[in-house]
Structure 1
Amino acid sequence: MPLMAVAIAYATGATRLCRRSGHGRPIRARQALWFAMGWIVLAAALVSPIHALSQRLFAAHMIEHELLMAVAAPLLVAACPAAALLWALPAGFRRNLGTIGHGKLLRMTWAFVARPLNATVIHGIAIWVWHIPALFEMALQQGVLHYAQHASFFGTGLLFWWTLLPRPGRQQNYGSAVMHLFVTSLHTGLLGVLLLLSPKLWYPQNAVGAALWNLSPIEDQQLAGLVMWIPAGLVYGGAALLMAGLWIRSSETRAGADALRPS
Structure 2
Amino acid sequence: MPLVLLAPIAGAHAPEAGSPAPAIGWSPEPWVLACLATSLLLYLAGLLRLWRKAGAGRGVGKARAASFGAGWLALVVALVSPLDALGGFLFSAHMVQHEVLMIVAAPLLVMGRPLAVWTWALPAMWRSRTSGLVRLPAVAGTWNVLTYAPVAWALHGLALWVWHLPPLFEAALRSPGVHSLQHTSFLVTALLFWWPPLGGASRAGHGGSMLYLFTTMVHTGALGALLTFSTVPWYPAYGASTPAFGFDLLEDQRLGGLIMWVPAGLAYLAVALAAAARLLRGEPARA
- CA drift at 1:173: 0.9
1:91 deviation in Å?
A: 2.3
**Residue 265 of structure 2 corresponds to residue 229 of structure 1:** no
Q: 1:77-136: CA deviations, max 9, x gaps?
A: 111222211111222322332233223222222222211111101110010010111011
More displaced 10-residue stretch of structure 1: 97-106 or 33-42? 97-106
Amino acid at match of 2:184: A
Structure 2 CA distance for aligned equivalents of residues 79 and 111 of structure 1: 19
Give unpaired runs (5+ residues) of structure 1: 255-263
Task: Select which of 108, 116, 141 maps to 1:83.
Answer: 116
Contact conserved, 2:68 with 2:109, CA < 8 A, in 1?
yes
Identity %: 42
Could you say which structure has the larger radius of gyration? 1
Q: 1:244 to 1:207 in 2, by over 3 A?
A: farther
Deviation at 1:166, TM superposition (A): 5.7
The answer to whether residue 149 in structure 2 is matched with residue 116 in structure 1 is yes
2:205 pairs with 161, 173, 191, which one?
A: 173
For residues 250 and 117 of structure 2, the distance between their equivalents in structure 1, rounded to whole angstroms, comes to 46
User: 1:108-187 alignment to 2 at 5 Å?
Assistant: 108-165=141-198, 167=200, 173-187=205-219
Distance across 1 between alignment mates of 2:267 and 2:76: 19
Which whole-Å deviations, capped at 9, do the CAs of 1:27-85 have from their partners, x for residues lacking one? Answer: 62111111111111111000000000101110000000000001111111111222211
CA-CA distance at 1:2 after TM superposition: 0.3
Aligned mates of 2:145, 2:49 — CA distance in 1: 33
**Equivalent position amino acid for 1:35 in 2:** F
What is the CA–CA distance in structure 1 between the aligned matches of 2:116 and 2:143, rounded to whole Å? 18
Contact map agreement 1:57 1:208 (CA 8 A) in 2: no
1:58 aligned onto 2:91: yes
The equivalent of 1:258 in structure 2 is none
Structure 2 runs not aligned, ≥5 long = 1-33
What is the CA–CA distance in structure 1 between the aligned matches of 2:112 and 2:214, rounded to whole Å?
Answer: 23
**What are the superposed Cα offsets for residues 141-199 of structure 1, whole Å, 9 maximum, x if unpaired?**
111111111111111100010112263x6677111110010000000000000000111
* Contact 2:110 2:199 (8 Å CA) reproduced: no
Deviation at 1:206, TM superposition (A): 3.2
- Code of the residue aligned with 1:137 in structure 2: it is E
Indicate which of 45, 49, 58 corresponds to 2:78: 45
More RCO (CA 8 Å, sep 6+): 2
CA contact (8 A) 1:59 1:220 kept: yes
Equivalent of residue 227 in structure 2, options 195, 198, 201: 195
User: 1:204–1:217: 8 Å Cα contact kept in structure 2?
Assistant: yes
Q: Distance in 2 between matches of 1:189 and 1:174?
A: 22
Q: 1:190 to 1:112 in 2, by over 3 A?
A: same
Superposition TM-score, scaled by structure 2 size: 0.83
